[in-house]
Amino acid sequence: MRGTSPCASCKLLRRRCAKGCIFAPYFPSDDPQKFAIVHKVFGASNVSKMLQELPIHQRADAVSSLVYEANARVRDPVYGCVGAISYLENQVSQLQMQLAVAQAEILCIQMQQEAATPTPLDQDDKSLILSSSNFNINSPHPQYLINFAASSTNLIQDPLKRESL
């Protein structure tokens, strides 16, 4: 017997707690509800068999998992912890979508602000503009083609409307 009181499993099952009780290290007498819920879902015999098949260093983690699964099964008898996992995965997916929408909105606002504020031209840009304003007959892109390209873009307002071309 462990001390003066039996472990939670022996107390619930109303049996004498032996010195080598497999439940004693994992189900202390001060937390009887822990074993009661595991026993209700899995049964004492099944839990005993599971613990005996595991190495001693893995038993504490196994008991922790059994308690978690038993609590989940009591809350949701059909899906158990899978229901909780599915709920959390859906929540993560929704939050990722909200984040993507927020990032897209931020990007749109930044692009609108950049378009609204004129950027100062450096000396290379000024010289390029001044040199392109001169009409050169030998230029590979004559001025009348440039003017035509600029005016034709005004006609296309909706890419799906082909009549405006």
| Domain ranges for the chain | 8-75, 82-122
**What phi and psi values does residue 59 have, to the nearest 5 degrees?**
-65, -40
| DSSP assignment letter at 117 | S
Q: If you average pLDDT over residues 93-113, what whole number do you get?
A: 95
**Residue 121 banded pLDDT, cuts 50, 70, 90:** low
CA angle at 136 for the pair 132 and 137, rounded to the nearest 5° = 145
| 123-127, 139-143, 152-156: range with lowest mean pLDDT | 152-156
Neighbour count for residue 28 (Cβ, 10 Å): 16
Q: What is the pLDDT of residues 51-81, one digit of tens each?
A: 999 999 999 999 999 999 999 999 999 999 9
pLDDT value, residue 136: 52
Sequence-distant (6+) residues with CB within 8 A of 63 are 26, 27, 38, 51
Q: Specify the amino acid at residue 152.
A: S
